[in-house]
């Protein structure tokens, strides 16, 4: 795979201008890392991030170029002389990390990298990249579709690279070379020593891959799941009763797979109509797709959207089952397993792990709220059978699930998780009573997203000041309980005007059942 005479230019002109400006300041300038790998694989049509190395003074040069071209400049790592440049005047922000060569020369820098397919460089000259430098045999490994360490000490010195091996294997569809995998298996526990922030970022990319269930399986196969996510590893071989046909771990992998399919549909990257189960989801949820996308576009941190959490929610939804499992053999010798309160326990476990990985408080609260609520859609479906879910029950679902009273985000995410979870219970597709189940989930989403649903119920007909003035009530719990009773009645369609609200309040006060 000789590309030494083939030239490559980034698709975005801002990258071309930046590279030309860097080359005008210093020579040589090399593009390194994943973009080189992807160019050789024919995948780098329009990258949004580049890694560049120069001989010296990376921060000085990067700052000077950034000022001239209007890129944002950040000194990323002063000790290693690494700068980050960000261009925001495009649909997707462009990122370029500029670093001084490790050891002061190209050979030392490439030998210090993780895998041979990432240890290649292309020199930027005269407006294009060429002159491929491949000292570790990266082209051979690309042709063999395998990940191989550059040096044994490269993995030992940076345990995050063990997780990256799994991520790249899934992302690229590569195998891990035998000696590299053997070393990963031997030193897998060292990932505990890596910084939580770096592990968080690598896991985020791992579960953002197109096959996140495969990512989890490969972590387990390489002895990395337990040191990274011991709560998930504990779900292995935890049996469940019918209608479940798989243990908690295998059920979770299925749920992750279905969650990813929902994610792809919501992103607009894939259709669901290729399966009967997916066709039913499309038929019922398609009218709400624009609002779903709008709600799920909310960011839980600077770069992570609520939608991006869907596979993580599937990963954590049953994590409380191993510690809550009890055995019930009272039914004529038939053993049944019960997991009472697993959603509450699991919510706390998920929160604890996410905090340890340094996710933001907003993100932890969001995941915790969804996991705590994830059984509610199932229970509503069972309670209402073949009848529509009442507006009062819809209102209570969103009221009880939200961490804030300003949107329907937690409730919406919980319904989407429930759709993935319900499918994962059964080996058959579509699962039993699927049409009724999807109709019920559609009713919940319709209430949460439509203007005449949750939004209307949150605009009270009567406020607390009016109640206190009209009935001469003192401030206190009684007013709060009365207001909630009126909101429920409004949500159920039992009252529609302020006069009707005051009449119902008078009736409730007369019954003398309020505190």
pTM to 2 decimals? 0.88
Q: How many CA atoms lie within 13 A of 448 on its CB side?
A: 36
> What is the arithmetic mean of pLDDT over 421-434?
95
Given pLDDT bands bounded at 50, 70 and 90, which one contains residue 515? low
Question: Which residue blocks in 391-476 are alpha helix, DSSP H?
Answer: 391-401, 409-425, 434-449, 454-457, 464-471
Question: Which pLDDT value is given to residue 45?
Answer: 67
Q: Which of 299, 311, 80 is nearest to 212 (CA)?
A: 311
Residues forming a β-bridge with 128: 125
Q: How far is CA 19 from CA 23, 194, 202, 252, 479, in A?
A: 6, 33, 27, 45, 65
Question: Which pLDDT value is given to residue 1?
Answer: 36
Structural domains of the chain, ranges and CATH numbers in brackets: 13-137 (3.30.460.10), 152-225 (1.10.110.30), 232-457 (no CATH), 464-511 (no CATH)
**Which tokens is 350 given?**
């998920």
- CB burial class (10 A; 0-12, 13-18, 19+) of residue 48? middle
Query: What digits encode the pLDDT tens for the residues 326-353?
Result: 988 776 667 889 999 999 999 999 999 9
> What is the arithmetic mean of pLDDT over 231-252?
96
Query: What digits encode the pLDDT tens for the residues 223-232?
Result: 999 999 999 9
- The answer to whether the beta carbons of residues 337 and 241 sit under 8 Å apart is yes
How long is the chain?
515
| Rounded distance between C-alpha atoms, residue 223 and residue 51, angstroms | 30
> What is the arithmetic mean of pLDDT over 440-451?
93
**Which tokens is 68 given?**
């001239």
């Amino acid at each position: 795979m000789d590309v030494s005479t083939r030239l490559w230019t980034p698709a975005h002109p801002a990258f071309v201008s930046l590279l030309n400006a860097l080359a005008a300041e210093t020579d040589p300038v090399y593009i390194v890392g994943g973009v080189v790998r992807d160019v050789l694989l024919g995948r780098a049509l329009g990258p949004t991030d580049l890694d560049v190395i120069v001989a010296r003074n990376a921060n000085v040069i990067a700052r000077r170029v950034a000022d001239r071209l209007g890129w944002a400049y950040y000194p990323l790592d002063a000790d290693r002389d690494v700068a980050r440049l960000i261009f925001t005047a495009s649909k997707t922000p462009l990122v370029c990390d500029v670093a001084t060569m490790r050891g002061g020369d190209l050979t030392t820098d490439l030998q210090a990298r993780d895998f041979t397919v990432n240890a290649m460089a292309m020199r930027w000259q005269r407006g294009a990249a060429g002159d491929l430098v491949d000292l570790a045999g990266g082209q051979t490994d690309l042709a063999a579709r395998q990940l191989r360490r550059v040096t044994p000490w490269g993995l030992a010195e940076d345990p995050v690279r063990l997780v990256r091996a799994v991520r790249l294997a899934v992302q690229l569809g590569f195998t891990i070379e035998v000696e590299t995998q053997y070393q990963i298996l031997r030193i897998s526990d060292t990932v505990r020593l890596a910084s939580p922030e770096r592990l968080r970022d690598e896991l985020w990319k791992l579960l953002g891959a197109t096959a996140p269930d495969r990512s989890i399986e490969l972590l387990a196969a390489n002895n990395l799941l337990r040191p990274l996510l011991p709560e998930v590893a504990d779900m292995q071989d935890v049996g469940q009763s019918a209608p479940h046909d798989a243990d908690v771990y295998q059920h979770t992998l299925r749920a992750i797979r279905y969650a990813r399919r929902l994610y792809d549909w919501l992103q607009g990257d894939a259709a669901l109509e290729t399966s009967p189960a997916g066709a039913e989801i499309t038929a019922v949820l398609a009218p709400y797709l624009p609002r779903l996308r709008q709600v799920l576009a909310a960011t839980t941190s600077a770069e992570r959207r609520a939608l991006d959490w869907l596979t993580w929610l599937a990963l954590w939804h049953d994590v409380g089952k191993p510690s809550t499992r009890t055995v019930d053999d009272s039914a004529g010798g038939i053993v049944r397993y019960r997991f009472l309160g697993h959603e509450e326990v699991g919510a706390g476990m998920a929160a604890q792990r996410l905090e340890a990985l340094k996710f933001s408080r907003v993100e932890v609260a969001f995941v915790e709220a969804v996991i705590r609520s994830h059984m509610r859609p199932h229970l509503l479906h069972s309670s209402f059978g073949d009848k529509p879910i009442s507006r009062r029950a819809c209102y209570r679902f969103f009221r009880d699930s939200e961490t804030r009273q300003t949107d329907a985000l937690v409730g919406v995410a919980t319904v989407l998780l429930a759709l993935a979870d319900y499918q994962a219970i059964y080996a058959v597709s579509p699962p039993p009573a699927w049409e009724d189940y999807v109709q019920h989930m559609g009713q919940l989403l319709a209430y949460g997203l439509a203007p005449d649903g949750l939004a209307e119920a949150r605009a009270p007909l009567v406020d607390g000041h009016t109640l206190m003035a009209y009935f001469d009530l003192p401030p206190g719990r009684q007013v709060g309980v009365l207001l909630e009773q009126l909101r429920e009645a409004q949500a159920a369609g039992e009252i529609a005007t302020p006069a009707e609200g005051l009449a119902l309040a008078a009736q409730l006060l007369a019954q003398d059942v309020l505190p």
